[in-house]
Amino acid sequence: MQKVVSDMLLDIAHERNGYSIGEPWRFTQHSLAAVVPLVRVNNAPTRAYRLLSERKGEVKIKDGGNIERIQLTNTGEYPVLVKAGEVLVGSTQSRTVTTSQIIMANEKLEVACACVYSSKGIREGQGMTPGIYSPIEVRREVYHGHFSHGNLSPDYHRDQAGIWSGVNLYARNATGRTVNLASSLRAMASTEELSPELGSLDLNPTYHTPSEDLAGRISEAQTKYEDILKQVPRIEHQVGMALLTMTGLESMESFEHPDSWEGIRRAILGAESDKISDISDKDGIFEFRPEKARDIIRELLAGEFGDKVAVDRPHTRTIILDAKQFVGEVVTLDDIPIHCAFVRKAS
């Protein structure tokens, strides 16, 4: 694995160069998920880029008529990081970006993407905007595609059926967790004093957007669980987070600078709002061991990876990483790693 990549991962794993792994947070003692903040104090360099969600007015996004490509033009002064998993929406077919990469200032690119709204047609030439982030069910399929085809350029052919499968799986899971949350709260109401926030939740399992409309479903789920998401702690100098569930570490995201995390925090939490809100362990069967959280994260980051370069352009690279249980990526700008992300592979 390239040294520039391993440096970032090992810095987080060994809590050096300003990085540290914070205390896990769970919504209640009955929660089946925990959020672990990743923090960086003092050592973060000056941020030389911005996120797509931070530069909506400066990055022009247009549907070029190809299901696998979206045209982006950066008219601003900063390089812009476009993240795999970001969902672009508009009056045309919604897409998710499938390869993270930097778009330099005054650069125009065709960025690889996949459809996340199967019943909506393409309207060539229409503008699009970011703001929604794909949940684990979809990002797992996005990253898997990098190793299921021989050609690893940003233009490789996607397993579109796999992406649609991930979209539908998320829709089923989100609906099921809403039903479980309502059931859990009814069971708890007779034995525990519930906080006012729980009493105001929208626990209607009916979603108004079609199951194949990923952005719509995520937006609805985020609205349903908004009062829970507000309780996720805002940690000073946070640069990322890990999500743990009953199966262990599910995902991890980290930047090199706190401002980047703050710019996408709401979208990432919204994508996983149904998981963070899962309190279906009302019988106390699940034993959460917070002391193990750091060990699990360290084990991932200090492990062995196969690596392949997916994007290699002047000043920037995107390296795809493959391990036994996880797949992910690291993005560099001028040989400095600025972002890493991992998701657990399907079992």
The arrangement of strands across the sheet holding 336-344 comes to 19-21, 33-40, 238-245, 248-255, 336-344, 326-333, 316-322, 306-313
Task: Please state the φ and ψ torsions of residue 159, each to the nearest 5 degrees.
Answer: -85, 80
Angstrom distance (rounded) from CA 154 to CA 112 = 6
**Residue 156 reports pLDDT greater than 60:** no
Containing structural domain, residue 113? 3-344
* pLDDT tens digits for range 273-312: 999 988 877 666 667 787 888 999 999 999 999 999 999 9
Angstrom distance (rounded) from CA 99 to CA 330 = 11
Q: What is the mean pLDDT of residues 248-269?
A: 96
Question: What sections of the chain are H helices per DSSP?
Answer: 3-13, 136-144, 160-189, 196-199, 214-224, 226-229, 258-271, 273-276, 291-301
Q: What tokens does 323 get?
A: 């391990």
CA atoms within 13 A on the CB side of 255: 24
* pLDDT tens digits for range 93-126: 999 999 999 999 999 999 999 999 999 999 999 9
- Residue 229: the pLDDT is 92
Q: Give the burial class of 119: count Cβ atoms within 10 A of its Cβ; 0-12 exposed, 13-18 middle, 19 or more buried.
A: exposed
Q: What is the mean pLDDT of residues 18-31?
A: 91
User: Furthest-apart CA pair in the chain: how many Å?
Assistant: 62
**Residue 55 reports pLDDT greater than 70:** yes
- Looking at the structure of the chain, the number of domains it has is 1
- The residue type at 195: S
Angstrom distance (rounded) from CA 83 to CA 341 = 10
- Residue 151: the pLDDT is 46
- Residue 199: the pLDDT is 58
- Residue 286: the pLDDT is 67
Identify the band that residue 155 occupies on the pLDDT scale cut at 50, 70 and 90: very low
Q: What tokens does 53 get?
A: 């969600």
Angstrom distance (rounded) from CA 129 to CA 131 = 7
More confident: 7 or 199: 7
Angstrom distance (rounded) from CA 297 to CA 14 = 10
- The residue type at 199: G
- Residue 153: the pLDDT is 44
